[in-house]
């Protein structure tokens, strides 16, 4: 199973509001031959770490592709660029964030990008809640911990609310 995290908290000149950008990014991904098998409901979440920037819209999707993780990550970065993503500092506001969360349970902590699984996915309610909606049996490849147990271990301070089915 290939898991993609999606997020945005800034409007985009091409697609408008963050939710529209996320939907458009999935359409671009499919137009490039990557199948979006399933998509979670959308969530609204406070920035992590806490800051004064706008709240994010987030979701998770399962994908199918013949591309390996390196090629898929490069494609995700090209799509982010297309939607105006600028990378200056970590955790800054963004028009689009596409994160390769897990690629068939592969584990890679060094070498060329991507690091697999995503190094912070287990710490983020805005990833784990939508992930549990579409893959309730998923287990963290490194820790072996279920998504339900990872959610139970999250700090209560992460504000996340479901937007849509």
Residues 1-60 have pLDDT tens digits of 999 999 999 998 888 999 999 999 999 999 999 999 999 999 999 998 788 999 999 999
Reported confidence tier of residue 111, pLDDT bands at 50, 70, 90: confident
Cα separation, 14 vs 138, whole angstroms: 34
CA angle 122, 77, 89 (to 5 degrees): 70
The reported pLDDT for the residue numbered 89 is: 79
Query: CA dist 151 to 6, 44, 99, 135, 154, Å?
Result: 18, 16, 19, 13, 5
- Whether the predicted pLDDT of 87 surpasses 90: no
Would you state the pLDDT for residue 155? 86
pLDDT of residue 36: 98
- pLDDT band at 90; cut points 50, 70, 90: confident
Task: Specify the fold of 2-162.
Answer: Alpha-Beta Plaits (3.30.70)
Predicted local distance difference test score (pLDDT) of residue 156: 82
Q: Which residues are catalytic, by number?
A: 85, 94, 97, 99
Q: What are the sequence ranges of the domains in the chain?
A: 2-162
Contacts of 133 (CB under 8 A, 6+ apart): 40, 41, 60
CA distances for 81 relative to 4, 5, 87, angstroms: 17, 16, 9
Evaluate whether 99 touches 2 at the Cβ level (below 8 Å): no
Cis-peptide, bond into residue 117, ω within 30° of zero? yes
Instruction: List the one residue out of 94, 98, 104 whose CA is nearest residue 66.
Output: 104
């Amino acid at each position: 199973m290939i898991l993609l995290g999606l997020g945005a908290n800034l409007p985009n000149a091409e697609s408008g509001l963050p939710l529209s950008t996320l939907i458009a990014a999935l359409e671009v991904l499919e137009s490039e031959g990557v199948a979006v098998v399933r998509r979670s409901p959308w969530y609204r979440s406070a920035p992590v770490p806490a800051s004064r920037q706008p709240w994010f819209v987030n979701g998770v999707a399962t994908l199918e592709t013949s591309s390996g993780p390196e090629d898929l990550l490069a494609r995700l970065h090209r799509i982010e660029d297309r939607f105006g993503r600028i990378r200056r500092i970590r955790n800054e506001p963004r028009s689009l964030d596409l994160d390769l969360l897990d690629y068939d349970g592969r584990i890679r902590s060094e070498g060329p990008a991507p690091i697999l699984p995503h190094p912070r996915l287990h710490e983020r309610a805005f990833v784990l809640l939508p992930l549990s909606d579409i893959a309730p049996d998923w287990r963290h490849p490194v820790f072996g911990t279920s998504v339900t147990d990872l959610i139970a271990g999250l700090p209560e301070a992460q504000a996340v609310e479901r937007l849509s089915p």
